Structure 1
Amino acid sequence: MPNSFAQTEPHPVIGLVVDKKTNTVHVVDFDKSPLVISKSYHATLGLVPGDKEKEGDKKTPEGIYFFDEIRKPPRLQPKFGSMAITMNYPNTWDKFVGHTGSGIWLHSTNEPDRLNKNFDSLGCVVVNNDQMAQISSDINYRTSPVAIYEDLNTIPEVLSPERMTVVKKAIMDWAESWSKKDLDRYMTFYHPKFKSAGKDIKMWRDYKSQLNRQYAVIKVDIINLTIIPHPKYDVALFTQV
């Protein structure tokens, strides 16, 4: 298992890694390096290989996601078994690149024989009822990341410690530029098509410029930093103090 999920200091970040190549869901400790796998389960994935791009393509998306909601009977149709946890597909990146679709879940099934197949879903990640119960007890659905890879063991460069050092430095430089009120440098960390809270890149710059004038001192410290790498993009989890 590649070993370069990067952290600043130990703190629990329990989540899931889905390896589409091996049809495996791993419960992992992202705060450990090398990455620690505590449990692994076979999963049934989307009927069609490849990364999900549009509604109805029957593919399991690849990327880094988070859970939205737990659903159980009677709010859950019988075909989804004892429990489902919805995911935030399409996420911000998916929407940015024009990917469509919805309803990508981690769920169980009332048809155990489905688990004998590697590919038997419309894009969801499917495990059996007992496994679903165990997974749900191991994670925090409000905070646990779900990293879905095409093939986890063929991306050593993306997962290299050297690359993670570069990513970590970029995040720290971003925080430093904010603290120093270096607006020109600060804005270099943002994509030209950036949008947040209803603000485009120009509005964001104007907003930050206003804050720089409003506060005599701005101090931004980053703690509990965990970087989850992916061939498509990286996700940084941290506490800003």
Structure 2
Amino acid sequence: MKRRNLILGGAAVASLGACAQQGKFRNYNGPAVTGIVVNKGERKMYLLNEDRVVQDHKIFLGFAPEGHKQIEGDGKTPEGLYRIDRRNPNSRFHLSLGISYPNAVDTRTARDMGKSPGGDIFIHGQRHPKRRDKDDWTWGCIAVSNDEIEKIYAMIIDGVPIAINA
């Protein structure tokens, strides 16, 4: 009797698992992403393998998208060369990949103005899980849909360079 219940219980769990939605952690078996290019003016992010585009994504930026981020709270998305330097699987915005802002120049520029450069700049998902974003809304981050950040999170490893252009 116990064996029968164990087998039936295991079958039930397996069939429920097959019906369950895919989790937020995905696998990726394609070409390695060796670089990221963000073109703020186009509102596009390109994931590259060497010089070939592997994927491109529509993006949302800081609520004041024109120009380079200089100080904390300015609502601008940084411009320049950075790296993906950390991962947050428990992000308030579904999943997120940290960008190495501020660098030494960013820090010096802000300090010369008597301000903080800010930090915690990420590529992340949506602010509302069920509602798609329509306009630039972040405090300087790069946002994509939750479905897209799941794919991106699986594709990118720490250390990948990111060029953020005007």
Question: What TM-score do you get using the length of structure 2 for normalisation?
Answer: 0.70
Aligned to 2:156: 139
Deviations 1:56-113 (A, max 9, x none): 000000011112221123xx33xx12x0112111012312433611111111124254
Aligned to 1:15: 35
> 1:114 touches 1:120 (CA, 8 Å); kept in 2?
no
Please identify which structure carries the higher helix content: 1
Question: How high is the sequence identity, in percent, across the aligned residues?
Answer: 30
Aligned to 1:116: 134
Q: Partner letter of residue 123 of structure 1?
A: G
Aligned to 2:104: 92
Equivalent position to 2:45, from 25, 37, 41: 25
Matched, 1:126 2:143: yes
Q: Partner letter of residue 134 of structure 2?
A: N
> 1:45 touches 1:124 (CA, 8 Å); kept in 2?
yes
Q: Following the alignment from structure 2 to structure 1, what is the Cα–Cα distance between the partners of residues 156 and 120?
A: 20
> 2:85 touches 2:100 (CA, 8 Å); kept in 1?
yes
Q: Following the alignment from structure 1 to structure 2, what is the Cα–Cα distance between the partners of residues 28 and 57?
A: 29
Question: What TM-score do you get using the length of structure 1 for normalisation?
Answer: 0.49
Deviations 1:27-67 (A, max 9, x none): 012x3xxx321110011101112110111000000011112
Equivalent position to 2:62, from 46, 61, 73: 46
Q: How many residues are treated as equivalent by the alignment?
A: 128
Kindly report which structure 2 residues correspond to 1:67-216, keeping only aligned pairs within 5 A, or say none: 67-73=84-90, 76-77=91-92, 80-81=93-94, 83-98=95-110, 100-111=117-128, 113-117=131-135, 119-140=136-157, 142-150=158-166
Aligned to 1:60: 77
Report the aligned-residue RMSD: 1.8
Q: Following the alignment from structure 2 to structure 1, what is the Cα–Cα distance between the partners of residues 46 and 85?
A: 19
> 2:98 touches 2:123 (CA, 8 Å); kept in 1?
yes
Unmatched 5+ residue regions in structure 1?
1-11, 151-241
Q: Following the alignment from structure 2 to structure 1, what is the Cα–Cα distance between the partners of residues 131 and 41?
A: 20
Q: Following the alignment from structure 2 to structure 1, what is the Cα–Cα distance between the partners of residues 54 and 67?
A: 27
Unmatched 5+ residue regions in structure 2?
1-31, 112-116
Larger RCO (CA within 8 A; separation ≥ 6): 2
Aligned to 1:222: none
Deviations 1:182-214 (A, max 9, x none): xxxxxxxxxxxxxxxxxxxxxxxxxxxxxxxxx
> 2:48 touches 2:55 (CA, 8 Å); kept in 1?
yes
Q: Following the alignment from structure 2 to structure 1, what is the Cα–Cα distance between the partners of residues 127 and 41?
A: 25
Q: What secondary structure sits across from 2:133 in the alignment? A: helix
Q: Following the alignment from structure 2 to structure 1, what is the Cα–Cα distance between the partners of residues 69 and 127?
A: 25
